[in-house]
Structures are given as C-alpha cells and as structure tokens.
C-alpha cells in the first residue's frame, strides 16, 4: 500500500431522547430497528452499537480513503438512524453532555463493572453523562500488535510512520478540544469549562473531577513518544498502572482478562493505539455534523501532509505553535501541551491568545494540503478572531438567570439540538459534503 493511501474512520456517540427531550433508556429497541433497517437496505448492520449505559449509542462508519468518502458514510448511517428514531418516537441528541440531571442505567456486563469498581461507581458514571467522537487514523497494516504494541516484524519505515501519526495526533489535543466544544451545561450547570474533557479525563493538577482524575496513565493524555521503544514503554506503563489499580480495588486480574482485557484494552486515553490498526483520536466532543465533518477534513489533511512530505513530528521546547522546517514539523513539548495549553483550551478555548495562535498554525499547516474542505478551513482561519464554538453559541441563547438551567429550558435546548441535527444531515447529505461546507463558507454552526 502506498504510504500516502491510508484510511480514516469515525465513531460518534449520541444520547437517546423522547419527543419531549427526556432521556430514554430504549437504546436496545432502537438499535434493533437500526440494524433491521440497514439489513433491509443491504447495508452493514454492525455500525449501530450499544454503549455502556442504556440511554446512549454509537454510530460507526466503515474505513474510508478520503474525508469526503468518510463524511458520506457518516451521514448515510446517521440518516438511517434518524429514520429509525422517527419510527419509534425517539430522537438523537448529538451534543457532548445532556444539559440536565440524569442517572444513567449501566449495562450488566463484567468489563463495565470492573471499570466502575476500579475508579469508583460515582466517578465512572461521568462516562455515561458525556459523549465523544472518535476518529481513527490508519497506520501501516500489521505495525500495531495487540500483544506487544508494535510488531517486531514491521519495517523501520512503518514504525516511523506510526510514531509520527501518534505524535501528530497527540499535538492536536488542545486544538480539537477548543474547536469542538459543544454543550456548555453539565448536570444543569454552566461550568465554564469543556465538560466532556473535564468530566471524562479529569486532572488532579487542575482540580478537575472526572473518571480518570487519579488514573491519568489510563485516561489522561500520554506523552509524546521519542522512539518506537518509548511508545511501547508507554503502553506497558499504562497497562501495569491499570493492573495495579484493579489490584487495589480488590479485583482479581484474571477477571479483567476474562472480560476481554488486554494490553491495548486497558487504555481510555485521548490518543491511543487501537488493535484495528489505527491511532484513535478520542478527545473530540460529540457535536453537530458540520463540526464533525470539519474536524474530519482537518485531521485528514494534517495526517496526509505529514505522510506525503515524510515529515518527522518533533516535540520541541519553547515552540508554542506548529513550525515547519524542511524535514520536520516542530510541535510544542509535552509539558506545555498538557499543562498551560490544555488548561487554556478547556477554560477560554480559542478566545485565549495562546490557543488561538496554536489553532491558527495548525489550520495553516492543514490548508496547504488543499482539496475539498480547504476553502472552509481557510475561512475558519480568517475569522478565528470571531470564532464561536457551539458551546458559546448555545450560551448566548440559554444564559440561565439562576445558577442552574431550568428543566423547561433544558428540554427546549435538547429539542432544538435534535432539530438542528436533522436539519444539518439534510443539507450536508450530498455527493460532496466537504464541498458543501466549502460552499457555505461560514463559521461552524
């Protein structure tokens, strides 16, 4: 396979709600209809997947060679799901957190109980109250080995590509958090932070109470890999951190292994290696299709340019933006990336001058790759001074008059977001969704 011909895939999680906007635990019934509808249309029924709580589901895509192809597959499966929802009196709510208080019902499966017992049930339920979008960047076939992380039989060129894509994805963390911020409300509160990032990833340093606050090796952003050997070491370091955590929780290790646990399945990090043969980018909020497709275009162009120009992604101290040399893409070192920059991205977002400068440099690098979506990303870069995330736009309309969002306002927000999702699928469902974005030439909405 040509080194520049790699595929990209997508998973997006959604909340299931009824016509009033109330959370619904009917995911099993809904997914059965999705799968039957897919089978009736001669489509793959396995792209409609349950999540660990019964009010949430995941819609996947087959791997695609271009951003346009991936966007089409994503919209096709999403359109099918919306049709199934109408048949059952249900709707899909697409944003990263349900705005009101909920108590998700967890599925009775050993792997979920092991995770919940290890991190604590109350803490683990944060994972059932926020949704994410995962993008998969393919690496050379066979280079990822689920047993040892990186295959001993892979070639130096294959390992180098894996290393650069992993480091590139890591460097994009704060950019994707900032551009993709979706719902400003979590459990009825406008917390002023990127809720999905805070409540899922967590941080002891910043005082963010989330699922992995005290297990950053397992759920936080991991350092860049200076070499393939250090990439492998990061995988085993995380694996043993998880085994030690389940030991402390009084869980016998063989139960974790019997439930499907393994070296790579002990990772819930924002960037991780996947046994499918991909670097999986997990730091993106679930959001409207316009945002998701723009991010598809951005990541596809970034990865393609690194591969096609044979660039080494090199973390460098005192570098605060993407800086291109003849053979290297210089990116900020990990201390800055996972410290000052992450905090700014999760608080002020693109309004913070350091985040804005960083996002601007990443967009500039991606736009140079050209192709569909480049015009849209160019317009986004031009208007970055006035950029508003979906989160910011919602706050303009739903500014609570008290400390907590009222139930009526929260349900209205849910219904409006469901309608916006359906509207966007209608106008983006074309032969060239990225070109449709280009034609709109407006900020993400």
What are the tokens at 180? 């993709």
Give the number of domains in the chain: 1
DSSP code of 212?
T
Residues of the chain with pLDDT under 70: 1-4, 400-402, 441-445
Distance CA 442, CA 119 (A): 42
The per-residue pLDDT for 442 is 47
CB atoms inside a 10 Å sphere around CB 111: 16
Enclosing H/E stretch for 71 = helix 67-88
The pTM score is 0.96
Q: Where are the alpha helices (DSSP H) in 190-349?
A: 195-196, 216-219, 228-248, 253-258, 289-308, 334-336, 342-347
User: How buried is 156 (Cβ within 10 angstroms: 0-12 exposed, 13-18 middle, 19+ buried)?
Assistant: exposed
Query: What is the pLDDT, as a whole number, of residue 398?
Result: 87
- In the DSSP assignment, the letter for residue 197 is I
**pLDDT for the residue 45:** 94
**Whole-number pLDDT of residue 316:** 98
1, part of any domain? no
What 3-state DSSP class applies to 270? coil
Q: Convert the pLDDT of each residue in 323-343 to its tens digit.
A: 999 899 999 999 999 999 999
Per the CB < 8 A criterion, the answer to whether 303 and 168 are in contact is yes
Tell me the CATH number at 190. Answer: 3.30.590.20
Structure-block tokens of residue 73: 């597959």
Domain of 16 in residue numbering reads as 8-433
For the chain, the maximum distance between any two Cα atoms, rounded to a whole number of angstroms, is: 61
Q: Token pair 């006035």 is at which residue? A: 386
Is residue 347, in this structure, part of any structural domain at all? yes
Q: Please give the pLDDT value at position 443.
A: 39
In a domain, 439, yes or no: no
- 165 assigned to some structural domain: yes
Q: Give the C-alpha distances (Å, rounded to integers) separating 219 from 203, 225, 287, 337.
A: 10, 17, 21, 16
């Amino acid at each position: 396979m040509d080194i520049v011909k790699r595929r990209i895939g997508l998973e997006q999680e959604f909340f299931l709600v009824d016509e009033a906007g109330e959370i619904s635990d009917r995911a099993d019934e809904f997914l059965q209809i999705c799968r039957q509808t897919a089978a009736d249309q001669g489509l793959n029924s396995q792209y409609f997947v349950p999540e660990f709580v019964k009010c949430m589901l995941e819609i996947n895509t087959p791997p695609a060679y271009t951003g346009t192809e991936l966007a089409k597959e994503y919209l096709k499966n999403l359109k099918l799901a919306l049709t199934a929802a109408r048949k059952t009196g249900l709707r899909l709510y697409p944003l990263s957190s349900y705005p009101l208080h909920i108590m998700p019902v967890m599925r009775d499966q050993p792997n979920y109980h092991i995770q919940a017992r290890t991190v604590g049930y109350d803490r683990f339920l944060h994972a059932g109250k926020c949704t994410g979008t995962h993008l998969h960047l393919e690496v050379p076939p066979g280079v990822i080995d689920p047993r040892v992380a990186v295959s001993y039989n892979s070639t130096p060129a294959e390992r180098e590509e894996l290393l650069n894509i992993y480091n590139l994805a890591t460097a994009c963390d704060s950019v994707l958090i900032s551009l993709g911020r979706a719902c400003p409300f979590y459990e009825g509160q406008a917390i002023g932070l990127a809720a999905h990032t805070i409540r899922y990833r967590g941080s002891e340093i910043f005082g963010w109470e989330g699922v992995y606050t005290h297990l950053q090796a397992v759920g936080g952003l991991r350092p860049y890999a200076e070499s393939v050997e250090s990439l492998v070491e990061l995988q085993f370091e995380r694996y043993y951190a998880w085994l030690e955590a389940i030991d402390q929780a009084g869980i016998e290790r063989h139960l974790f292994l019997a439930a499907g646990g393994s070296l790579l399945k002990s990772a819930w990090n924002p960037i991780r290696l996947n046994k499918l043969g991909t670097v999986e980018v997990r730091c993106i909020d679930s959001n409207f299709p316009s945002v998701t497709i723009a991010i598809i275009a951005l990541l596809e162009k970034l990865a393609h340019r690194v591969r096609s120009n044979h660039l080494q992604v090199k973390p460098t101290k005192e570098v605060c933006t993407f800086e291109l040399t003849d053979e290297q893409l210089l990116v900020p070192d990990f201390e800055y990336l996972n410290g000052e920059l992450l905090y700014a991205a999760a608080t002020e977002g693109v309004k913070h001058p350091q985040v804005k400068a960083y996002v601007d440099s990443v967009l500039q690098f991606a736009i140079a790759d050209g192709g569909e979506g480049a015009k849209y990303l160019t317009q986004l870069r031009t208007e970055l001074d006035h950029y508003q995330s979906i989160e910011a736009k919602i706050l303009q309309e739903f500014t609570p008059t008290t400390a907590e969002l009222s139930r009526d306002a929260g349900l209205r927000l849910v219904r409006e977001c469901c309608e916006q999702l359906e509207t966007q699928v209608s106008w983006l469902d074309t032969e060239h969704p990225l070109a449709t974005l280009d034609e709109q030439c407006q900020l993400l909405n």
